[in-house]
Amino acid sequence: MDFNLTGQQKTIQRVAKEFREKEIEPIAAKIDRENKIPDDMVKKMARVGLLGVNAPKKYGGSQAGNLSFLLAQEEIGYACSSCFIIVHGNNSLCNAIEHFGTDEQKEKYIRPLCRGEAIGSTAFTEPATGSDPKAITTIAVPDGDYYILNGTKRFITSGNHSGPGIFYAKDETGGVSAFIVDKNTEGYSTSAPWGLMGLGGDDVVDVYLKDVRVPKSNLFGPKSDGMGILYWVTGIGSRLSNAIATVGMAQAALDESIKYAKERTVKGKHIASTQSIQFLLAEMAAKIEAARWMTYRCGFLADQGVFIRKEASMDKLFVGHVGVEVADMALQVHGAYGFTKDFKIERIYRAMKYLEIVEGTSEVQRSIIAKILIS
């Protein structure tokens, strides 16, 4: 792996950092408190190229690759705001459609995602299922030139926003197929957003499909190969995206802790001069660096065309734990002040547990890794 970033990668990293500092950081606490991302945020992201980092240039993207996307996502995640979830959703969907979609699907859906005219979603989970494809109850029944979809999907990020979503359902063969569904079409409805412990503004909803008509041309990838597509999407996109956002937040936790330790005095001395605080800061820095380079390596391998299902699960497992550990140590540095909403670490602490769980719990990741190791 070449540890030197290219000129393009450095530019993307810089643009993302400047955008985060100007547009997100000043209102991040407000977004969390009011549970709402400003309506114009998506278009602002699109204008600086954050929504199509890995999308083909012919459809309005930068075609900069997976590692470049991770560099941008790390900067957006640093703000500890749900804004990084929009960056993830659109880039992930662009990447999936480019990889599995037909020319017609690419032409229809990628450009609006890059422009911020649509917000993408992925819908697999259901109320009574976890990651078990045999337990899916959403069905897709052929009807002429259409499939008719019926079912309920749970915890669907941005499921209430217009744009394409990749929905998984049992087809007429009993296998699981993927479909591109235009959200908010006839028969499509959602619940109110779930109240989350962390990352306010992340619109996570249940989706209800009642006789939703989906053109057969919107079958996504080979018929009955939905699980293969899901494994690719979660491996290349979702798990790495959440891992690098965790790294960004962990770095913010360390930076906040260093700043606090240099300012906070006890008995006339800054607490940064005490060995116990220094050891916490050193441990945090070491864990973050390991997590960062592990995630960068996954992005590098993905850019080489490697199917990184095992590596992505290992990354998600390791980085998820690091994020929670670093947030806990940062809270220790801040003491009682870290428990107040006046300090950013309180927001980071809540968000880290969410990131450890979402896109597959640690138990799911261990199961995937073990099965691959012994196969």
What's the average model confidence in pLDDT over 134-160? 95
What's the average model confidence in pLDDT over 236-255? 94
- Nearest CA to 245 out of 345, 161, 356, 360 is that of 356
* CATH number for the domain whose boundaries are 7-115: 1.10.540.10
pLDDT band at residue 234 under the 50/70/90 scheme: confident
Packed helices 362-374 and 309-334: angle between N→C axes, nearest 10 degrees: 150
- Nearest CA to 52 out of 66, 62, 43 is that of 62
What's the average model confidence in pLDDT over 135-149? 96
Confidence check: pLDDT of 30 > 90: yes
How confident is the model at residue 118, as a pLDDT? Answer: 97
Q: Quote the CA–CA distance of 101 and 235 in Å, as a whole number.
A: 17
pLDDT band at residue 237 under the 50/70/90 scheme: confident
Confidence check: pLDDT of 1 > 70: no
Supply 29's token pair: 């606490």
74 a catalytic residue? no
Q: Quote the CA–CA distance of 110 and 94 in Å, as a whole number.
A: 5
How confident is the model at residue 203, as a pLDDT? Answer: 93
How confident is the model at residue 128, as a pLDDT? Answer: 85
Reported pTM: 0.94
Q: Over the stretch 266-321, which tens digit does the pLDDT of each residue have?
A: 988 999 999 999 999 999 999 999 999 999 999 999 999 998 999 999 999 999 99
Confidence check: pLDDT of 171 > 70: yes
Tell the burial category of 275 from Cβ atoms under 10 Å away from its Cβ (0-12, 13-18, 19+): exposed
Please, which residues bridge with residue 182 across strands?
A: 164
Across 44-84, where does the E strand assignment appear?
Answer: none
Report helix, strand or coil for 175: coil
Catalytic residue among 117, 256, 359, 363: 359
Confidence check: pLDDT of 130 > 70: no
Q: Over the stretch 58-76, which tens digit does the pLDDT of each residue have?
A: 999 999 999 999 999 999 9
Sign of CA dihedral 154, 93, 113, 86: positive
What's the average model confidence in pLDDT over 242-260? 97
How confident is the model at residue 137, as a pLDDT? Answer: 95
Percentage of the chain beyond pLDDT 70 is: 98
* Sequence ranges of the domains in the chain: 7-115, 121-224, 227-374
Q: Does 2.40.110.10 match the CATH number of domain 121-224?
A: yes
pLDDT band at residue 236 under the 50/70/90 scheme: confident
What's the mean pLDDT when you consider all of the chain? Answer: 95
pLDDT band at residue 131 under the 50/70/90 scheme: low
Q: Quote the CA–CA distance of 16 and 341 in Å, as a whole number.
A: 26
How confident is the model at residue 129, as a pLDDT? Answer: 79
pLDDT band at residue 95 under the 50/70/90 scheme: very high
Phi, psi torsion values for 118, nearest 5 degrees: -150, 155
Report helix, strand or coil for 188: strand
Contact (CB, 8 A) for 183 and 162: yes
Confidence check: pLDDT of 328 > 80: yes
Q: Over the stretch 331-354, which tens digit does the pLDDT of each residue have?
A: 999 999 999 999 999 999 999 999
Q: Quote the CA–CA distance of 32 and 210 in Å, as a whole number.
A: 32
Contact (CB, 8 A) for 94 and 113: yes
Q: Over the stretch 178-191, which tens digit does the pLDDT of each residue have?
A: 999 999 999 999 99
Supply 234's token pair: 């979660």
pLDDT band at residue 3 under the 50/70/90 scheme: confident
Rounded to whole angstroms, what are the CA distances from 37 to 114, 164, 181, 225? 18, 20, 24, 35
Q: Say how many CA atoms lie within 13 Å of 137 toward its Cβ.
A: 11
Contact (CB, 8 A) for 78 and 20: yes
* CATH number for the domain whose boundaries are 227-374: 1.20.140.10
